[in-house]
Amino acid sequence: MVGGSTFSTRAASCSASGEAVSWSAVTGPFYPANRLDRITPPSSPIGSTPAVDPHIGTLNEGSLHAALKDHYAQPGDRFEVPLRRFVIDIARRWEEPGELFIEIQTSSFGSMGNKLDHILGEHRVLLVHPIAVRTRLERDGNKPRWSPKRGSIYSLFEELVSMPTLLDHPNLALDIVLVEVTKRQEHDPRARRGRGGWRTVDRRLEAIVETHRFDDVSDLTTLLPDNLPPTFTTADLAASGQMSRDEAQRLAYCFRAANLFDQVGRTRKGIEYRLSS
């Protein structure tokens, strides 16, 4: 349960026609590393226009969110579609066989729990989440510089710890988009300690490095190092993979919750795991 939601409940996969529709058939082609020299977010819906204010959901939309929405858009898509008390970022094949909702989530997964609870039972959802592998900082009166903080695909588990069974639903797929961004910051003496008095006001997409697709929870095992011994600890994960010990511990927590790891013992090095059979 996440934030009072019952998100982890599994539901039968469905489409308007009752036929199984592959993810690739409705999401379209993927775009590998590509420099985005010019990004223009959509100013109006393509195709049918929803019978509500088209600005719903866009007034507080940041540049990164808008650019990713533009990147994923295809002709015929509808934008900012109202569904009960929610607004869907992109609706593809709206009310047709193979209907797909695309949700761009640039903040934490935890805030999506209630929305996913209400729409996954009847609709297929592709959740898109960017991770910044390089960040350029822009501050008034300062020369732009690269932030020393760098994310990676393993940063995914910082979000999954809040809902580790996220991919345990047949109507959900996840795209992790590794990106380069420019973070615009303004000085704010009220900014909390640790931010040095700077507050982020916007993030701009500069480049998409690569996209990782996870259609179900078992796809997460592709992130495990090839040289992992049959029995291992999070120290082994950190030593043989491209992750820190903290990231390895988050990965192990999520894999345990998703029944991908079995705990088999404990040593001075820590808890011992093995892959679930």
Q: What are the domain boundaries of the chain?
A: 23-221, 224-277
End-to-end CA distance of the chain: 26
Residue with tokens 């093995």: 274
Three-state secondary structure call for residue 101: strand
Q: Which fold has domain 224-277?
A: Arc Repressor Mutant, subunit A (1.10.10)
Average pLDDT rounded to a whole number, residues 52-60: 42
Residue 120 has pLDDT above 80, yes or no: yes
How sure is the predictor about 40, in pLDDT bands with cuts at 50, 70 and 90? very low
Alpha-carbon distance 1 to 54, whole Å? 33
Contacts of 107 (CB under 8 A, 6+ apart): none
Average pLDDT rounded to a whole number, residues 5-27: 40
Three-state secondary structure call for residue 6: coil
Structure tokens given for 69 = 């929405």
How sure is the predictor about 269, in pLDDT bands with cuts at 50, 70 and 90? confident
Residue 27: its pLDDT value, please?
Answer: 52
Average pLDDT rounded to a whole number, residues 1-21: 36
269 to 234, 242, 265: CA distances (angstroms): 9, 19, 11
Residue 259: its pLDDT value, please?
Answer: 95
Q: How many C-beta neighbours within 10 Å does residue 143 have? A: 7
Residue with tokens 């993979």: 241
Residue 192 has pLDDT above 70, yes or no: no
CA atoms within a 13 Å half-sphere pointing along the CA-CB vector of 50? 23
Residue 195: its pLDDT value, please?
Answer: 54
Structure tokens given for 57 = 């959901």
158 compared with 21, residue with greater pLDDT: 158
Average pLDDT of the chain, as a whole number: 80
Average pLDDT rounded to a whole number, residues 14-32: 41
Residue with tokens 């950190």: 238
How sure is the predictor about 44, in pLDDT bands with cuts at 50, 70 and 90? very low
**Residue-wise pLDDT tens digits, 86-115:** 999 999 998 888 899 999 999 888 888 899
Of 171, 153, 146, 124, nearest to 244 by C-alpha is 153
Q: How many C-beta neighbours within 10 Å does residue 262 have? A: 14
If you count them, how many residues does the chain have?
277
Residue 26 has pLDDT above 60, yes or no: no
DSSP state of 5: -
- How far is it between the farthest Cα atoms of the chain? 62
Three-state secondary structure call for residue 244: coil
